[in-house]
Amino acid sequence: MKALVVCSGGLDSVTLAYRVAKEGSLTSLLSFDYGQRHNKEVEFAKQCAAQLNVPHIVIDLRQVGAQLTGSALTDDIDIPDGHYAEDSMKVTVVPNRNAIMMTIAFGLATSQKADMVAMAVHGGDHFIYPDCRPEFIEAFTTMQNHALDGLNDSGNIKLYTPYLHQDKTEIARDTAKYNVPVKDTWSCYKGLDTHCGRCGTCVERREAFHLAGLEDPTEYADSDYWQTVVTEKV
């Protein structure tokens, strides 16, 4: 297989890149700058590509992101603190973000004669993000098979989502299994100098390492907050 991995530079997609590399099919990483306030994550994806010795393609979608208004990731709206299981996290949805990134990835995969696109969606994302759910992934695959019918010599391009029915704890375990340099990944939505420790993705990251029984080497501005949120809300 020849796999293109959609890699934000976050914990999930960097771990996926290491996993796909170990499985022997990694050919390139693809990142997007859609004007997310934490677009420093793209530098971590670049570092990952260098570590794994594959090309890194960055697509500038800031014009698109500027039109996808209403999200705290791209607009001047405060990033909420708390746990992903809270309704308040819905303000972090960028409408159709995954579908847009994935159609571009499938187009590039066709041109590169790759036969797989890998995406690190996981079970912890299902509650908030409709474009991370199994029914979306299945429908997307069907749509792509029609859209590219006859264009790929090797048949349909596979959509590889090994964490779709697992949660971030499983990804934390995989960081150990695949020797992922966790310090060289960026999750925090706020995009400041260190991980805030309070936003949904920081809380989930810290919680995942705890549940996996692994040390989290990440430096958090507030390293205790996650425990109060997890105790109260989960």
Binding site for its own copies (CB under 8 A): 57, 59-60, 63-64, 67-70, 93-100, 103-104, 106-108, 110-111, 130-131, 133, 135-136, 139-140, 142-151
What sections of 70-167 are H helices per DSSP? 97-111, 134-147
- Which CB sits closer to its own copies, 28 or 201? 28
- Which CB sits closer to its own copies, 53 or 146? 146
- Which CB sits closer to its own copies, 89 or 212? 89
* Two tokens, residue 94: 């960028």
Task: Report the alpha-carbon distance of residue 200 to residue 81 in Å, rounded.
Answer: 6
Nearest distance from C-beta of residue 210 to its own copies, angstroms: 30
Residue linked to tokens 């995942």 = 208
Nearest distance from C-beta of residue 81 to its own copies, angstroms: 22
- Which CB sits closer to its own copies, 65 or 80? 65
Nearest distance from C-beta of residue 152 to its own copies, angstroms: 9
Q: Reduce the DSSP state of residue 26 to 3 states and report it.
A: strand
- The C-alpha angle 36, 90, 30, rounded to 5 degrees, equals 35
Query: Which is nearest to 6 in space by CA: 117, 133, 100?
Result: 117
Single-letter code of the amino acid located at 24: G
Nearest distance from C-beta of residue 225 to its own copies, angstroms: 28
Long-range contacts of 212-215 (CB under 8 A, 24+ apart): 212/169, 212/170, 212/172, 212/173, 212/176, 214/172, 214/173, 214/175, 214/176
Nearest distance from C-beta of residue 117 to its own copies, angstroms: 11
- Which CB sits closer to its own copies, 63 or 231? 63
Nearest distance from C-beta of residue 158 to its own copies, angstroms: 15
User: CB within 8 A of 219, min separation 6: which ones?
Assistant: 194, 195
- Which CB sits closer to its own copies, 53 or 63? 63
